[in-house]
Structure 1
Amino acid sequence: MEAAILILTLLFVAFVVLAVYAGVKAVRAAKRGVDRTITQARRSVEDTTLRAKSYGQPGVQGELAQLRLSLRTSMRATQDALNAGVAEDASLRESLELFERLSVHGRELDDDLRRLEREPDRATVATLLPGLKERTGRITHSAESLRWAARDRARRFADDDLAALNAEIDVEAGALRHWTTDGPVPGGNAGGPPRSETAGPAGPATSGAGGPTA
């Protein structure tokens, strides 16, 4: 009796622990989902604001907004392409690591551009624009190089797979048409007993096992 009570108690404790663990994981997953949604919404709002500034504000403010928008768009597109490709092609992990190092420089540049947007000395900011443009171009060029290389690699694999599939289909189509070379001739003696090649023409019919009747 005591053993049965002990077993039931252990099972109850295990069930409670498992329920608590599952609840904690569910809460953490929900929190990550909420954080991801908030981050995406914040990015969308900021991108929309930058796009409006780049078209609606002339001069230094508009150029800074355009640089930030170009930088963020290029970096995000490269990140999405590499994250999507690494799940199917493990060799892209090294490219993803390089991109993470590049992202550090991208975030630093974005922070610098954001601070300069609030800088009241427009003349000083204007003198910094050529260097900022050159720095932005270097980062976006590296990001685009990684992105297009990953896409070209995926396209090459897809082309190779399609070529192999086409070859297999050609072989299968040839096998399905085997009757044109060595199969039975349509309309022949298919399904019937084989015809004897040594049998002669049939003789006249007789009335019995003996000789001809008188």
Structure 2
Amino acid sequence: MDVIFGVLLALMIIVAVSLTTVFLVVRAIAKRIRRSPAIGGAVLRTRARVATGPRGKVLRLRVRLRETLESGRAAVALAASGTAPRGELSRLFRRIEHEGEALDLQLRLMESEPDAAVLAEELPAAGRRVDQVADLVHRLRASVGAGLGGVSDDALTALRAEVDREVVALHAGVGELRTLNAHDASGPGRITPRTAAPAPAPNRGNRP
């Protein structure tokens, strides 16, 4: 009896440990999913598409703010990679990003506002703040673009003209090659089939 009781107790301990482990793993995965920027952005965009009224406008402002900050991060990463002058871009963007995160918290607070009239009254000011952040990021990206250099309308036009010349030369070469091939095929070296001689007509002079 004691043996059976010991076995059951061991099984219960194993099951409890297994369930606890599974719970901790699932909770860790859920936390990681919630903290994932890609998943969070996708969820936010989906909510913004289906929501209506003032709350939907708040969600769309959050989407615009998130996408603006992501474009700023991409520009700063490009500048930090050494392909563009770095300067004070990283420090400036950190300040912009800090203000953007504070603004996103305000927008999240606005989402929980139950009074639609109050929410509609606060929306214009929130929209202006998002516009200001977007303008700052646009200026930062323009600075990075100016530092890249080497790409202009004149350069692209000249490159297109050079490509057109190469295409014309290629077509001319192909045409000349076809002409030479046709000339070689019809020259004296070609063996032409001989026409069979007609059979002689039967002699009809001595008819019976």
TM category, shorter: 0.5 to 0.7
TM-superposed deviation, 1:97:
0.9
TM-superposed deviation, 1:42:
2.2
Q: 1:71 aligns with which of 65, 69, 81?
A: 65
Equivalence for 1:81: 75
**2:48 is aligned with 1:54:** yes
SS of alignment partner, residue 93 of structure 2: helix
SS of alignment partner, residue 82 of structure 2: coil
**Aligned equivalents of 2:61 and 2:93: distance in 1?**
19
Equivalence for 1:144: 138
**Aligned equivalents of 1:52 and 1:39: distance in 2?**
16
TM-superposed deviation, 1:81:
1.6
Contact 1:86–1:93 (8 Å) recurs in 2? no
TM-superposed deviation, 1:103:
1.0
Could you say if the C-alpha distance between residues 77 and 40 of structure 1 is closer, same or farther in structure 2, counting changes exceeding 3 Å? farther
**Aligned equivalents of 1:87 and 1:79: distance in 2?**
12
Could you say if the C-alpha distance between residues 49 and 147 of structure 1 is closer, same or farther in structure 2, counting changes exceeding 3 Å? same
Equivalence for 2:116: 122
- Gaps spanning 5+ residues in structure 1: where? 1-33, 167-214
TM-superposed deviation, 1:107:
0.5
Equivalence for 2:93: 99
Task: Compute the TM-score of the two structures, normalised by the length of structure 1.
Answer: 0.52
**Aligned equivalents of 1:89 and 1:45: distance in 2?**
30
TM-superposed deviation, 1:157:
4.3
Equivalence for 2:107: 113
Q: Counterpart amino acid of 2:86? A: L
**Aligned equivalents of 2:42 and 2:72: distance in 1?**
20
**Aligned equivalents of 1:143 and 1:158: distance in 2?**
21
Identity score, percent: 24
TM-superposed deviation, 1:145:
1.4
**Aligned equivalents of 1:39 and 1:136: distance in 2?**
27
Equivalence for 2:147: 153
Q: Counterpart amino acid of 2:147? A: R
Contact 1:95–1:146 (8 Å) recurs in 2? yes
**2:126 is aligned with 1:132:** yes
Contact 1:51–1:69 (8 Å) recurs in 2? yes
TM-superposed deviation, 1:90:
7.0
- Gaps spanning 5+ residues in structure 2: where? 1-27, 160-208
Task: Compute the TM-score of the two structures, normalised by the length of structure 2.
Answer: 0.53
**Aligned equivalents of 1:57 and 1:142: distance in 2?**
28
**Aligned equivalents of 1:39 and 1:91: distance in 2?**
35
**Aligned equivalents of 2:144 and 2:34: distance in 1?**
24
